Amino acid sequence: MSTGMTATTSGGRRAWEGWGHRVGAQRGLLIAVAIFAIMFAYYGYMQPVGLSSNVINTAANKGVLLALIAMAQTLPVLTGGIDLSVGTIFVLTNCLASNIVVGSPFMTALGVIVVLVVGAMCGAINGLIVVYGRLQPIIVTIATSAIFYGLALVLRPQPGGSINPELADLMTRSTYWVPSSLILLIGVVLFVWLPYRRSVVGRAAYAIGSSEQAAYMSGVAIGRAKILAYTLAGLLSSIAGLSLTALTYTGEARAALAADYTLNSIAAVVIGGTSLFGGAGSAIGSIFGAFVMRTVGDLLFVFDMNPVLQPLFVGIVLLFAVSLGSVRLLRIKNKLDLYR
């Protein structure tokens, strides 16, 4: 702990320790990547046709939907909050897109912009209520998710609608083995997540998650950082909503779908190594967490498991992943650290 000790150790040793620290900080991400790589390789191996372009594309289309929502969930979680409305924003924008992303290229482009703006606005409403209303995020997002679901029902009382087929094809096809959905995901990482992570507001989000009091005392703009986190969460959810419309060609206001995606997004965030208490983790980890959750479902098919057993195994995987975090308890020397 003393600075004198560090100064006397050799430079090489110090570099090694720094490296070890870096790996340690990314442990959650690395574990998620490793689990996904093993599971997906086995999945491909068990496919009768091998990892054909089609198999990869189907897996990517499904995985990217959850990955986007898991990224959305990560941002509020990093600030120490939570967003239980990501699933309903996803469903709301799906219903909206099935209404307005149609017609001429100009109208389609306008429709896409409106869908994204509406998603971001839904998120901004969450953020504004959390910051200026000073309410707990869990309560706010439970309440707003009821409102968003109600709006989705207004837009689409019955399943139906359509989407511009060219856009849908562009978003879901695979070019030279590379699925468009993966390109979209990488684009989101490059143009939304990385700039955010490096920006002042992004760092502020991590600071708030670590200790809101300390962040406040250091002059961090808490309100702005939180509102932006929730707004981006809404935006990312709406991108997923648009992708779902491209995938299914319809809009449907289904509460079970929203709940399923919200729950799985939290699971993906945890598996990806982001702390639910905030301040540590990354959206990249959540992406792989989402891929793990999706591959678990696919693997059960490969194993020819009785379909009625599938929810049970997804639940057990979730419990197991959470319990893995308890390994840290073995390293705790002071029993007091167990308690808040």
**Which SS3 state, helix, strand or coil, does residue 75 take?**
helix
Residue 270 binds other proteins (CB under 8 A): yes
Residue 134 binds other proteins (CB under 8 A): yes
Minimal distance, residue 250 CB to other proteins, in Å: 17
Which DSSP category does 250 fall into? S
Residue 305 binds other proteins (CB under 8 A): no
- Interface with other proteins by CB under 8 A: which range of 51-59, 106-114, 142-150, 188-196? 142-150
- Interface with other proteins by CB under 8 A: which range of 30-38, 262-270, 281-289, 296-304? 262-270
Minimal distance, residue 265 CB to other proteins, in Å: 11
Using CB under 8 A, pick the residue from 5, 49, 329, 330 that binds other proteins. Answer: 329
- Interface with other proteins by CB under 8 A: which range of 19-27, 37-45, 153-161, 294-302? 153-161
Residue 190 binds other proteins (CB under 8 A): no
- Interface with other proteins by CB under 8 A: which range of 27-35, 148-156, 191-199, 227-235? 148-156
Residues near 152 by Cβ (< 8 Å), separated by ≥ 6? 88, 91, 92, 94, 95, 96, 253
Measured at the CA of 273, the angle between CA 282 and CA 256, to 5 degrees, comes to: 90
CA distance 227 to 333: 38
Using CB under 8 A, pick the residue from 36, 40, 43, 149 that binds other proteins. Answer: 149
Measured at the CA of 103, the angle between CA 102 and CA 108, to 5 degrees, comes to: 60
| Count of CB atoms situated within 10 Å of the CB of 275 | 17
Per residue in 235-271, is it b (16+ CB within 10 Å) or e — as a string? bbbbbbbbbbbbbbebbbbbeebbbebbebbbbbbbb
Site residues, other proteins (CB under 8 A): 82, 129, 133-136, 138-140, 142-154, 157, 212-213, 216, 222, 256, 263, 266-267, 270, 276-277, 306, 308-316, 318-319, 322-323, 325-326, 329, 336, 338-340
